[in-house]
A and B are shown apart, each in its own frame.
Chain A
C-alpha cells in the first residue's frame, strides 16, 4: 500500500520563473487536495478535486496558480511568474469520498519551494 507521493521534493527557482509540481494520490482515493504551509503556520487550503473536477479554489489563490487533474489520477500544480512570497512547503493530500471515515485526508511528503 503506497501512500501519497509528490515530486520533486525540493525546488529552487529564480523569481519570475514558472514551476510545476506533481502529486500521485493513494490509488483508490477519488479526492485530491493541495495545501501550502509556511514556517510556524498550519497548512492553508489551495484547491481540491473530486475525480477530474476541480470543485473548490481558495479565494486567496492568485491567478498565477493553476491546478489540473486530467484523468482523475495524478494532479499538477503550476505557479507562474514565481515571487519570493511563494516560498513554502506545498502539500498534497488525498481522501476517499463516501466512507464512514469522512474526509480523512492523508498527506504526501510535500514539495519545498524556494524562490530566490
Chain B
C-alpha cells in the first residue's frame, strides 16, 4: 500500500471555476500534511500546510483534513490560468520528519 495516493487523472477546469483535488494516506499516525504546487521543469513550492482536522483557508486555497478517513483535499477557488500546474500531496508519516509524496495531479485551467 502506498503511503500517499493521488489517483485522479489530469483535471481540466474553466477559468473562474473551483478545482478540487484529493489525497489519501495510509499511516494513521501521520501528523502534518502539505500541498505543493509544481510547475513544469521547476521544483515544488509549498502552498498549504494543515495539522488538525477541519478546513484551513489561505487566499483562494482551502485545505481540508479528515484524520478519521485519512483524507486530505485542496480546493482552488476562482481558478486562474496561472494555477495550471501539478499539485503534490505530502504527508509526514507518524514519528518521521521526512515527507512522503503522492504522484501529483495535473491541473489545467482553460481560459
What residues on A are CB-neighbors of B42 within 8 Å?
Answer: 109
A41→B43 CA distance, assembly (Å): 13
Is the Cβ of B100 less than 8 Å from the Cβ of A45?
yes
With known contacts A42-B104, A102-B31, A102-B51, A108–B43 Cβ distance under 8 A: yes
Task: Bin the interface of chain B by size.
Answer: 20 to 34
A108→B90 CA distance, assembly (Å): 17
Number of interchain pairs (Cβ within 8 Å): 60
B76-111 contact mask (Cβ, 8 Å, vs A): 1 or 0: 000000000000101010001111111110000000
**A86 → chain B, closest Cβ, in Å?**
18
With known contacts A40-B103, A107-B43, A109-B43, A45–B98 Cβ distance under 8 A: yes
Is the Cβ of A48 less than 8 Å from the Cβ of B103?
no
What residues on A are CB-neighbors of B57 within 8 Å?
Answer: none
Is the Cβ of A48 less than 8 Å from the Cβ of B46?
no
A105→B99 CA distance, assembly (Å): 9
With known contacts A56-B96, A107-B43, A107-B45, A41–B103 Cβ distance under 8 A: yes
Is the Cβ of B88 less than 8 Å from the Cβ of A42?
yes
Is the Cβ of B46 less than 8 Å from the Cβ of A105?
yes
What residues on A are CB-neighbors of B4 within 8 Å?
Answer: 42
What residues on B are CB-neighbors of A56 within 8 Å?
Answer: 96-98
Is the Cβ of B100 less than 8 Å from the Cβ of A107?
no
Q: Which of A31, A45, A55, A89 has the most CB of B within 10 A?
A: A45
